[in-house]
C-alpha cells in the first residue's frame, strides 16, 4: 500500500477482516499477518492503531459484543408479537450464525486475551454473558405481557437457551443446525 494513502475506518476494516479469518480459519488461524493480509493493508497498520495483537483482539471482541445491541433491541421490540418460540429461534439463529461462536472459541483459546478482557468484562465470556442478558430481558418482557409463565425463572431459562444453542452451533466446520432444530430446542427448553 502506498504511503500517504488514508485508510477510512481502519479499525472496522481490520475488524471485518478478523471476522472473515476467524470464521474461515478459526482461532488458531487468526494472526496479525492473516488479519492485515485479509484487510489488504500492511502489517504495520495494525500496530499503529493497537499496542499489540492482543490489544487488537480485545477491542475486536468488545466491538462485536457492542454490535449485539441492535439484536437485543430488535428482540425486545418483538415482545408481544409473533410467538415467543419463533422470536427466540430467530434471535438465536442470527446470534450464533454470526461470528459469536468463533469469538467464544477465540476467548477460550488465548490466555492473554482473556486477561485483557477481564479489565472490561470481569466475569464470563463476553459474547455469551451479553447474549444471556439479551435473552433474559426479552423473556422478562414476555413474562410481563403474560406470554410466558409468571413463575418462569428467566435467568435460568436464558442461560439454558444460550448454552444449548451454543452447543448446537459450536462446530464451526460442520453444518449449521437448521431452523427447525433450533425451534425444537427452544420449545423444549421453554416447556420445562
- Tens-digit pLDDT profile for the chain (192 aa)? 444 445 458 899 999 999 999 989 989 999 999 999 999 999 899 989 999 999 999 999 988 888 888 888 999 999 999 999 999 999 999 888 778 788 888 888 888 888 888 877 666 677 788 899 999 999 999 999 999 999 999 999 999 999 999 888 887 677 888 899 999 999 999 997
Q: What does the block give as the cell for 62? A: 468488545
Q: Which H/E stretch holds residue 138?
A: helix 126-144
DSSP state of 121: -
Report the distance separating Cα 100 and Cα 40, nearest Å. 24
Q: How far is CA 94 from CA 39, 91, 111, 147, in A?
A: 24, 5, 28, 22
pTM: 0.82
Instruction: List domains and CATH numbers for the chain.
Output: 58-191 (1.10.357.10)
Amino acid at each position: 500500500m502506498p504511503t500517504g494513502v488514508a485508510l477510512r475506518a481502519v479499525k472496522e476494516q481490520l475488524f471485518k477482516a478478523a471476522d472473515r479469518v476467524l470464521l474461515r480459519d478459526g482461532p488458531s488461524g487468526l494472526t496479525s499477518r492473516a488479519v492485515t493480509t485479509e484487510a489488504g493493508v500492511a502489517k504495520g497498520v495494525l500496530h499503529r492503531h493497537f499496542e499489540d495483537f492482543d490489544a487488537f483482539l480485545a477491542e475486536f471482541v468488545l466491538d462485536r459484543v457492542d454490535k449485539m445491541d441492535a439484536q437485543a433491541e430488535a428482540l425486545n421490540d418483538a415482545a408481544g408479537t409473533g410467538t415467543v418460540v419463533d422470536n427466540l429461534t430467530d434471535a438465536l439463529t442470527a446470534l450464533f450464525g454470526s461470528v459469536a461462536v468463533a469469538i467464544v472459541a477465540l476467548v477460550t483459546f488465548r490466555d492473554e486475551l482473556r486477561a485483557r478482557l477481564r479489565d472490561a468484562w470481569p466475569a464470563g465470556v463476553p459474547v455469551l454473558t451479553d447474549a444471556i442478558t439479551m435473552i433474559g430481558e426479552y423473556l422478562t418482557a414476555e413474562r410481563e405481557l403474560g406470554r410466558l409463565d409468571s413463575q418462569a425463572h428467566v435467568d435460568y431459562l436464558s442461560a439454558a437457551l444460550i448454552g444449548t444453542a451454543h452447543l448446537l452451533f459450536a462446530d464451526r466446520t460442520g453444518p449449521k443446525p437448521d431452523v427447525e432444530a433450533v425451534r425444537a430446542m427452544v420449545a423444549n427448553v421453554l416447556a420445562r
